[in-house]
């Protein structure tokens, strides 16, 4: 989509054009099992680099095309007006995949709603996520420190990349966790500037899944069914400052020292709760498989570990 559409006036004109466009036939052919669907899915699959002007447009098979507020009210937008602009855009435009405790897709909702502890607790919102653990050829693990502008867990140290597959065709593919692996490749580029050629999708090894809940502060938190993806590659890294404050490679002993400092509260160092769960339950035994070249033998994608 042309960047000239980013201004509010042009967006209004473009939406007016859409209202008159001959999409009624497409709406009429929609499955009767769903009363509404995203207009954007009829038009294009947005990328993380493109503005999603249609995030709040809905269409019903029995109604005309109208613009309506997103699931988060306009009051929420006003209340969070001080939020970093990039993070606010992602919060309201990204649609996470809602699942039940057996990892069956049950719907989708905004990243904003999925991370509100009030909604997590009252509606038991659970969304699909992934955590990437990237090792270089020296078997060192790449860690990142989340940027200070992140809404949840700012400035904490964590594994290489932690994010969500989105409610889009390419990231909903269940077979061999392909949708999640596609999302991981996308976010490693977004957050760390790692080119897709450096991290082929078929090189990600899904080792397991865990379900956890963790508050970030009084308002925000996580409730995720998290896919744990390992990959061994030498990569080019160019962190995106909107997402990442710092990066470092660590060996086992350096990670253990990092854990000691976090436990002692030295220098205010903090680790993300999901990273700590993986470290405490899986990481060091899986690190053995990294070094021995036997990672696929360690995989267990049937079990969902509730931690």
Which backbone phi and psi does 281 adopt, to 5 degrees?
-110, -25
Distance separating alpha carbons of residues 117 and 303, to the nearest angstrom: 26
β-strands 161-163, 127-135: how paired? antiparallel
Helix (H) or strand (E) holding 257: helix 252-264
Nearest-10 Cα torsion for 243, 249, 251, 256: -40
List C-alpha distances in Å: 183 to 46, 75, 99, 166, 259: 13, 30, 16, 7, 28
273-289 exposure pattern, b = at least 16 Cβ within 10 A, e = fewer: bbbbbbbeebbeebbeb
Active site residue 191: no
Q: Which of 96, 114, 161, 162 is catalytic?
A: 162
Going by C-beta distance under 8 Å and a sequence separation of 6 or more, which residues neighbour residue 126? Answer: 98, 99, 100, 101, 211, 223, 224, 225
Q: Are 135 and 142 in contact (CB under 8 A)?
A: yes
Q: In the block, which residue shows the tokens 């990294």?
A: 290
Distance separating alpha carbons of residues 210 and 303, to the nearest angstrom: 8
List C-alpha distances in Å: 91 to 50, 109, 186, 210, 249: 15, 10, 17, 23, 29
Active site residue 266: no
Q: Which of 93, 171, 224, 243 is catalytic?
A: 224
Helix (H, G, I), strand (E, B) or coil at 244: strand
Active site amino acids: 162, 224
């Amino acid at each position: 989509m042309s960047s000239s559409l980013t201004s509010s006036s042009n967006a209004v004109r473009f939406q007016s054009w859409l209202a008159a466009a001959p999409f009624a036939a497409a709406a009429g052919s929609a499955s009767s099992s769903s009363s509404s669907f995203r207009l954007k899915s009829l038009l294009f699959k947005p990328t993380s680099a493109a503005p999603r002007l249609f995030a709040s447009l809905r269409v019903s098979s029995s109604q005309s095309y109208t613009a309506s507020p997103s699931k988060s009210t306009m009051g929420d937008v006003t209340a969070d007006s001080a939020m970093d602009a990039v993070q606010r855009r992602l919060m309201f435009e990204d649609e996470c995949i809602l699942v039940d405790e057996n990892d069956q897709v049950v719907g989708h909702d905004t990243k904003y709603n999925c991370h509100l502890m009030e909604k997590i607790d009252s509606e038991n919102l659970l969304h699909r996520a992934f955590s990437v653990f990237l090792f270089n050829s020296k078997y060192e693990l790449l860690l990142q420190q989340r940027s200070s502008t992140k809404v949840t867990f700012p400035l904490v140290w964590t594994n290489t990349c932690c994010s969500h597959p989105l409610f889009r065709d390419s990231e909903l593919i269940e077979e061999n966790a392909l949708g999640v692996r596609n999302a991981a490749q996308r976010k490693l580029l977004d957050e760390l500037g790692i080119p897709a050629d450096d991290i082929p999708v078929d090189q990600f090894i899904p080792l397991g899944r865990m379900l956890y809940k963790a508050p970030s502060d009084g308002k925000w938190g996580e409730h995720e069914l998290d896919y744990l993806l390992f990959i061994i590659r030498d990569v080019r890294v160019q962190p995106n400052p909107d997402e990442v404050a710092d990066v470092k490679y660590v060996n086992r002993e350096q990670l253990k020292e990092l854990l000691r400092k976090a436990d002692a509260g030295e220098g205010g160092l903090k680790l993300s709760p999901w990273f700590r769960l993986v470290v405490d339950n899986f990481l060091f035994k899986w690190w053995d498989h990294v070094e021995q070249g036997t990672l696929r033998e360690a995989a267990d994608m049937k079990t969902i570990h509730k931690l």
